[in-house]
Amino acid sequence: MSKERIVILGAGFGGFTLAKKLSKSDFDVTLIDRHNFHQFQPLFYQVAMAGLEPSSIVFPLRKAFQNAENITIRVSEIEGIDTEKKHVKTENETIPYDHLVIATGAVTNYFNNDKFRENTFSLKTVSEALAIRNDIFDDLEQALTTKDYNNRQSLIDIAIVGGGPTGVELAGALAELKEYILPKDYKELDAGEVDIYLIQGGPRLLIGMSDEAGDNALKFLEDLNVKVMLNTRVVDIDNGMIKTKDGQSIVAKKVIWAAGITCEELDGVPQQCIGGRNQVKINDQLEVLGLQDVYAIGDAAFLTSKEMEHGHPQVAQVAIQMAKFLAKKFKKKSVSHFVYKDKGSMATIGRNKAVADLPWVNTSGFMAWVLWLLVHLASLIGFKNKLFVLINWMWNYLTYDQSLRLIIKPAKKKSS
């Protein structure tokens, strides 16, 4: 090979942005991901709530790079790396590199509790979002013919564990589903029987945002009749029963776990390089400490500074900014060290309700909701995706309806 090869592990916000910035460059770039598409994670919850179709928030990797001759796509599971021999081992092949970028993102943190893992839904992929959607509407259909009150409640009540942006946005969307959709689609079912629980271990919602944002989010959710439980820690989930540390019991067959994230271990990364939430330690050049020609960006990277002693937030903007910095570094453009520019945080709690902490102002309500819509629409990849999402949002807003309430499951193979 005449060109240096950069191998990027992961096609999330960081990996995808870096590959785009390096397309048509003087490097051979190999982008590896277990999926053949880039996923727009902030809108997973809308797929789960039947507000958007899955295809409108994903973008095929090969289509994204079809005009970039220097980009190679590999859809494969990453098994590990060898930093001495400088290669990546996947389930299908061994890929050599000159420079390696770890952008593998984060996964749901179950805090080493197998019961939490086995008895809850996660929301980290579009497939998991579809699984939640299927289960919600499957159980509603079953509830129509369930005469016993307690059994029916276990089918229709939903609990969300974790009061961060994902939990808050899910709770708001579920409350609107209960208010606007159930009375029309499931007339035999008393929508008033449906209880939505949001369980938060801390004293307020949206810990990463301002106190004002957390208080406003709480008010909006309570106005939507969501049962918000603060300072409540879940200790057990089994057979449709949630038990809390203070002795409460909640019956709900569907539990969505949004209580934190961590990173998967990557075989070949020395233990002394691991910090934070199982992240890879890096310096302000985004280089992995103690390893040569290995970098990390996004959720997988642990970078501390005077302003951020506990590491940078695991959000899309950090990954995107790190990717842009690293692309300039590879191209030998003038860069000193990475500095994160916080553009603010947002969370939506339903129709006309959102909270936003921006560098110049904190706001809530309709204006924050409009800003949330504009930012997320602009961040989507592909004109068609932007158009379809905009049409869906406009239709939902004007009609108080969602047209994607479909139960789609894989067909069972016939035994030979």
Q: Taking Cα atoms as reference points, which of 13, 269, 275, 243 lies closest to residue 116?
A: 243
- Residues labelled as active-site residues: 169
Rounded to the nearest angstrom, the gap between the alpha carbon of residue 305 and the centroid of all alpha carbons in its chain is 25
Three-class SS state of 416: coil
C-alpha span between 373 and 390 (Å, rounded): 9
C-alpha span between 107 and 303 (Å, rounded): 18
Residues 6+ apart with CB under 8 A from 22: 6, 29, 70, 71, 327, 330, 331
Per the CB < 8 A criterion, the answer to whether 40 and 57 are in contact is yes
Residue 334 has φ and ψ, to the nearest 5°, of: -70, 110
Q: Where does 157-253 have alpha helices with state H? A: 165-176, 182-185, 211-223
Q: HSE of 97 in the Cβ direction (CA atoms, 13 Å)?
A: 28
- One-letter-per-residue 3-state SS of 310-364: CCCCCCHHHHHHHHHHHHHHHCCCCCCCCCCCCCCEEEECCCCCEEEECCCCEEE
| DSSP structural state of residue 412 | P
